[in-house]
Amino acid sequence: MGIFAVEMMVRLHLMKFYTDVAGLSAELAGLAIAIAMFWDAFTDPVMGILSDRTSRPSGKRRPYLILGSFVMALAFLATFRPPMLDAELARFGFLLISYIVLNTAMTVLAVPHSALGGELSFDSNVRTSVFAFRLFFGNMGLLAGTILPIVFLDTIAPAAGTGENPGIRDPEAATTAYFYAAAVVAGIILLTGWISYIATRGRDLPAQKKPPLRGVAILQEITKLFKVLKNRVFVVLLAAYFIAYVGVSINSTLALYYYEYRLRLNSEAVGLILVVFILVWSASLLFWTWLSRRVGKKYPGFAGVFLLGLATCFTYPYFPAGEVKYPLFMSVLGGFLVGAIVLLDSLVADIVDYDELKSGEHREGLYFGFWKMAIKASRGVSMAFTGTLLAAIGFQANQVQAPEVSERIAYLFGPGVGSFFLLGAIVFLFLPYSRGIHQRVQDLLVRKRSIRKKLHSDSVDIPSSVQTGGRI
């Protein structure tokens, strides 16, 4: 919940906060966010390796939940409370540094948390349920990250504009409002981090002690990063998710620009649209979880993302200004379809079984580290892309946009986003993994584990033919 609350407030409000309130140009705001995201993306696999090797008595993942949530809460407060800086380069530097610290702390928290979720059960259907519950509470965080800034902005910094320009606010009051929203989210981070730590006591076994990471050991761990990329099944899934998530990130970044500058909706209408979207998304998880139990994860996942792409391309550019019913309908349809993303998340844990069968190692943290890296790299790409495009199309903050600029925003938000969903779905369709293959993998893995346990109890070396697990 805390992780998603931060991600939503950042995706929806960070760019707009620094362009409309802090006075940073769209190009520099997008560049700072992109640099921080790319830095953070490459720390995710490293964090995965560290959590795989951690041998603390409290577990290999759980200790990072407390550390990450504490630093993340402080960094989040700083990001939305920049000091008064006259030079634009100084504002750029503050955003860059504070956001790097925030994303690094998020890595420390999110990668072990995701890996721990994949380790709570060996059953594929139970894993889908685990990730559905994780996404459900994450969506409660999305609600918090969406609603809190709107509530505080309307209370402390009500918009001064009317009619065709409803979104202009006093910058000083808006800064205070954003900080109060960030303070509440910081409290959610600390509380949910502590709850997650307490609730998983005894469910997180420490890793077997290994030699310290020095010299050759460091090189061996680095080579593991590249071995992950030799897993063809994972690479296809990673590529599909990366492409689709670029669309998700651009959608989130442009949402407030589209609703306020294109449709000219007030904050209450925008809040209603976003809340309905998140609530429908949360409710749809029941359907997608049930469907995956019946027919597997691959084809429902493809259908959900592909239909979302079609709907995005052919709706948003044509909605009339001032009308809330059309985007509200799309929030229902889009919220239902985007629920299919839980199937892609739970597939990562299934592919870890495939990797364990082939390699003999359990590397949940490394795989989820790569998964988080793809998400953050896609967000970095989208932030840089979005900031540059906003400047290129002639966007001017806190002003009524020219008709051609307004139309360009609509097409960026529609086909510009939808094309990434369509391409990601098509790549996902080529995933060389199915429900039947995974069942075979788990059968072989259970056999392999039982043989290894018996051989170890008898102090016998494991033959190489058993170590490889056989062909699938």
- Mean pLDDT of the 141-146 span: 88
pLDDT at 216: 56
How does 82-100 read in b/e, with b if 16+ C-beta sit within 10 Å? beeeeeeeebbebbbebbb
Q: How far apart are CA 3 and CA 98, in angstroms?
A: 17
As a dihedral over the C-alpha atoms of residue 220, residue 221, residue 224, residue 226, rounded to 10 degrees, the angle is -90
Cα torsion 328, 332, 333, 339: sign: positive
Give the pLDDT score at 197: 92
What is the predicted pLDDT for the residue at 120?
78
CA distance 263 to 319: 8
Half-sphere exposure of 54 (CA within 13 A, CB side): 24
Q: Which residue has the higher pLDDT, 467 or 318?
A: 318
Q: Please report which confidence band the pLDDT of residue 212 belongs to, taking 50, 70 and 90 as the band edges.
A: low
φ and ψ at residue 56, rounded to 5 degrees: -65, 150
Q: Reduced to 3 states, what is the DSSP secondary structure of residue 82?
A: coil
3-state secondary structure at position 3 = helix
- Give yes or no for a contact between 313 and 418, defined as CB atoms under 8 angstroms apart: yes
Per DSSP, 259 falls in state I
Please report, rounded to a whole number, the percentage of residues in the chain having pLDDT higher than 90. 26
> What pLDDT score does 328 carry?
94
Choose the most confident range, by mean pLDDT, from 31-35, 68-72, 150-154, 338-342: 68-72
Determine the Cα–Cα distance for residues 378 and 330; give it in Å rounded to an integer: 24
Amino acid residing at 222: I
Residue 279 burial class via C-beta count within 10 angstroms: exposed 0-12, middle 13-18, buried 19 and up: middle
Indicate the residue type of 315: T
Smallest Cα–Cα separation from 281: which of 308, 261, 263? 308
The model's pTM: 0.69
Sign of the Cα pseudo-torsion (38, 41, 42, 43, in order)? positive
| pLDDT of 307 higher than 90 | yes
- Which residues make Cβ contacts (< 8 Å) with residue 440, sequence separation at least 6? 472
**pLDDT above 90: residue 73:** yes
Please name every residue paired with 59 in a beta bridge, in sequence order, or none if there are none.
Answer: 56
Going along the chain from its start, the domains and CATH numbers come out as: 2-203+229-457 (1.20.1250.20)
* pLDDT bucket at 224, cuts 50 / 70 / 90: low
Window from 217-221, 278-282, 342-346 with minimum mean pLDDT: 217-221
The structure tokens 């429900």 sit at 435
- Other beta carbons within 10 angstroms of residue 101's beta carbon come to 19
| Residues 6+ away with beta carbon under 8 Å from 430 | 236
Whole-angstrom distance, CA of residue 102 vs CA of residue 367: 22
- As a whole number of angstroms, the distance between CA 59 and CA 67 comes to 14
Instruction: Give the mean pLDDT of 89-116.
Output: 89
Q: What does the block give as tokens for 172?
A: 């000083």
